Amino acid sequence: MNEFINSIKHFFDIDFTPVKSYLFSLMLTIISAYLLIVVFRKLMQQLFKRTSLLEEKKKETIESVTKNTSRYILAIIIIIAAIKPFVGDLKEVIVAGGIIAAVIGFGAQKLINDLISGVFIIFEGTIKRGDFINVNGELEGGTVEELGFRIVKIRLINGKLLTISNGEIRKMVNGSVEKRRIFESLIVSFNQDPGIVRVLLQEVCDDLNKKQLSYLKVDKQTDEYVEMYKVYGLHSLDTSPFGYKFTIVATVNDTDYLVASLEAKEILAQKLFDNNVKMAEQLINKGY
């Protein structure tokens, strides 16, 4: 019993000063590196705002590359600062780590592929939690519920939970990048006056612009609406063999898309019904 008590006392007699010094040095390195990267980003933004030598798209591309690259740099600095006190030569650690990774890679290629894909997805911000996405060309999409280095969990519209490995994502359509475009189309009969339809659609757009004003996307720089409801127009006459195809469009906040889209469909359908607009009908051959 006395030996046990003595061992406990001996533990508390350990000098934790090196540990405190290590943690303080690590935190100072992380904070300093983060502040330097933030300052560099701000300087780049101010530089692009005051210059007209580059096209707007090129500016945005450079800013995006700088932002993504700085994340990797910060991660590398943190790793080096964390392991440096425990190793004599960093070159030896890097070489040894490369050999170990190569050996493991032969036995777990799929896992490594998933992890690498996950790192790129997370660091580059391809998708975020809450985004509405379609994966690998599937028509049915869903909301990202959980995003990890190995898997992504997506809650489909029908309520089912889809779990997919990051390495299996070959093609992805993200419908939640701050804004979404409502694109509602209808086909009316060739016997219907297209001029009347256009007038009715404009009335629907005017009504929606009043009811859904809070849903419409506002440009952060100009404080103007990106795209209010408007009649997109009559498509080419050979678009549908059953009638004229019209479309109304608007750009809304991605979080309001579902509600706005459903309400637009209801108002559009009711307007056409109230005005006895002849819709296109597909003739079915019953065999007699």
Report in angstroms the alpha-carbon separations of 170 from 115, 137, 270.
15, 9, 41
For residue 155, the model assigns a pLDDT of 85
Residue 252 exposed, middle or buried by CB count within 10 Å (0-12, 13-18, 19+): buried
Selected residue with higher pLDDT from 58 and 76: 76
Q: Where do we find the tokens 């559009």?
A: 268
**pLDDT tens-digit map of 194-204:** 899 999 999 99
From edge to edge, which strands make up the β-sheet containing 230-234?
A: 179-189, 243-253, 230-234
For residue 8, the model assigns a pLDDT of 59
Cα distance between residue 246 and residue 187, in whole Å: 6
Question: What's the chain's average pLDDT?
Answer: 77
Q: What is the mean pLDDT of the segment spanning 224-233?
A: 89
- Residue 107 reports pLDDT greater than 70: no
Most confident of 19-23, 81-85, 136-140, 280-284: 136-140
pLDDT grade for 55, boundaries at 50, 70 and 90: low
Say if CB 235 and CB 243 are below 8 A apart.
no
Cα 185-245-265 angle, rounded to 5 deg: 25
For residue 97, the model assigns a pLDDT of 57
Could you tell me which residues are beta bridge partners of residue 185?
A: 247
For residue 267, the model assigns a pLDDT of 92
pLDDT above 90 as % of the chain? 12
Report in angstroms the alpha-carbon separations of 80 from 70, 95, 135.
15, 14, 36
Its pTM stands at 0.50
**Does residue 225 sit in helix, strand or coil?**
strand
Lowest mean pLDDT among 68-82, 84-98, 108-122, 204-218: 84-98
For residue 278, the model assigns a pLDDT of 87
